[in-house]
Structure 1
Amino acid sequence: MRIETNNELLNNIKSAGIILKPSSPELKEIYLKIKTLFEQAKIEVYLEDNSANMICLKGGHSLDELCHKVDFLISVGGDGTLLSVVRKSFKYDIPVLGINLGTLGFLTDISMEQLPKFIEDLKKNIYKIDNRMMVEGSVNLNKFVAFNDIVISRKSISSMIRIKGKINGKAFNTYYGDGVIISTPTGSTAYNLSAGGPLVYPLTEAFIVTPVAPHSLTQRPLVMPADFEIEFKIVDNQGAVVIVDGQDIYEVEQNQSIKIRIANKKAKMMHRIQRDYFEVLNEKLRWGN
């Protein structure tokens, strides 16, 4: 398992693209405040078109246009909004900054109170960009990328599901229960944590495979190097559903397979230089309280 770090910073930042949490028209005042703060620092701001329509402003740009036009993207909302922005912009290799308006915020670490100081530091190149592992998968000729996790789940709540797993073409386990979570280290604090899986430092390159409510007490979470290709075959005739980052859903029938491997590039996350992963865990999980 490798640790990926990135000391490369952006040169001569001139512009940023903003994407707001969907279905949140009340964010108009917050957007205008963010826009003012960046423009005061001589950084031009462009708004994504769906966000612009939501808060009744003209002149929005598609996400594709933003990714070609700006130096970095800003997600305004919670972790779910950031997940969506990272996945949709991933192919453009553009850094994403998360401004947290929610309550948990494992991924979005900058609050509105911290934003003025962050912008001041940004102009002085006092910030960092993390390289976060992404996974890519395929099912029924559909290809997808995931930032947090891929969940293989039963279709019916009245019965369990049987899933056969392979690593690099060799059988390694058969899972029988409610399903299986295949998580990235970044996603280890999401569904994986709720299901009893391990926390893994987010810059590590590794897969985490965690059974959900397994029928056998011998089934345990597994951490493995990211250079393996993992395959899961659905054994039961009821089929299954594959849920990508909690946002996209694919149906899988009996004897069909889901193949998963590390993506050939990383997602880029912008953070405060002061951000410390273990302090985040301490705060969010209330360790020591």
Structure 2
Amino acid sequence: MKLKKSLNLLENVKSAGVVLRPSSPELKEEYLEIKRIFNDIGIETYLEYNSAKMIDFDGFSLNSLCNKVDFLVSVGGDGTLLSVVRRSFKHNIPILGINLGTLGFLTDINMDELENFLTNFKKENYRIDNRMMIEGNLNLNSFVAFNDIVISRKSISSMISIDAKIDGKPFNSYYGDGVIISTPTGSTAYNLSAGGPLVYPLTEAFIITPVAPHSLTQRPLVMPADFEIEFTISDNQGAVIIVDGQDIYEIGQNDSIKIKIAQDNARLIHRTERNYFDVLNEKLRWGN
């Protein structure tokens, strides 16, 4: 697989790796249809191991799959795509999202649109968006997030105290239910429900949004992504770190998590006609 530098497109595409939504054996029929449509245009499909096992097929580990194919196909909803992006991140491989969920901010191709999209795909009528990722470092453990890293209280009966620094300099202390550190892509996720701003997804910026802050003076903050942000738990109850709403880590009193922009981007395959503001209009029902 090679990248067309001038167009940021793939060339000589021969294969795709498919990852299905977990615990959904009913997706076997959808996979067979996807396989047929891809084969009709000369693209061989291979299944990720857990997806294959779920529907009684043979498959490959995700690492092996990423080394074998030209791009990945996530079949499910935005949650499935989030997981695929994080797990395949080190391979820097493009991902196409097929939406079988409900909201579909990230997965914009429905099953009934796939055949037409792939016809355009073969004609190089598509685009690859480079989306900012963030990297968290906690007690020598590092992880990446596509949407957000959330620092949250452990118990619903008490609030949490968090001290924050930017490039080593103190800038705020949060007291409330927690703090969301979001990418622009993730601005339409938990950040939005917590009252944070929407940020155009191809922007490189951090969004720091307090969750139910005790003080009314605490407000969301948008800042350039070339800073490193550090959060320290200042009370004795500790906290939990939640990555993209899926992976959870514990953090103790006086422990810190450092967050910065990841060195590489997530790469999402989209229709050329996909427009972010049309998506907002449709999903958030603006103008209705």
Q: Same fold (TM over 0.5)?
A: yes
Q: 1:81 corresponds to which residue? A: 80
Counterpart Cα distance in 2 of 1:151 and 1:67? 28
Cα shift readout 1:4-50 (whole Å, capped 9, x = no counterpart): xx941001111000000000000000000000000000001101111
* Amino acid aligned to 1:247: Q
Runs of 4+, deviation exceeding 6 Å: none
Cα shift readout 1:91-119 (whole Å, capped 9, x = no counterpart): 00100000000110000000011101110
Cα shift readout 1:72-91 (whole Å, capped 9, x = no counterpart): 00000000000000000010
2:53 aligned counterpart, secondary structure: helix
Aligned: 1:19 with 2:19: yes
Q: 1:56 corresponds to which residue? A: 56
Q: 1:117 corresponds to which residue? A: 116
Q: 1:284 corresponds to which residue? A: 283
The alignment yields a C-alpha RMSD, in angstroms, of: 0.8
Counterpart Cα distance in 2 of 1:238 and 1:48? 40
* Amino acid aligned to 1:232: F
Q: 1:194 corresponds to which residue? A: 193
* Amino acid aligned to 1:14: K
* Amino acid aligned to 1:27: L
* Amino acid aligned to 1:163: I
Cα shift readout 1:195-248 (whole Å, capped 9, x = no counterpart): 000000000000000000000000000000000000001001001100011111
Aligned: 1:222 with 2:221: yes
TM-score by length of 2: 0.97
Unaligned runs of 5+ in 2: 1-5
1:10 aligned counterpart, secondary structure: strand
Aligned: 1:151 with 2:173: no
User: How many pairs align?
Assistant: 283
Cα shift readout 1:229-271 (whole Å, capped 9, x = no counterpart): 0000100100110001111111111011010000011110000
Q: 1:177 corresponds to which residue? A: 176
Identity, % of aligned positions: 75
Counterpart Cα distance in 2 of 1:183 and 1:90? 17
1:80 aligned counterpart, secondary structure: helix
Unaligned runs of 5+ in 1: 1-5
* Amino acid aligned to 2:134: V
Aligned: 1:42 with 2:35: no
TM-score by length of 1: 0.97
* Amino acid aligned to 1:13: V
2:88 aligned counterpart, secondary structure: helix
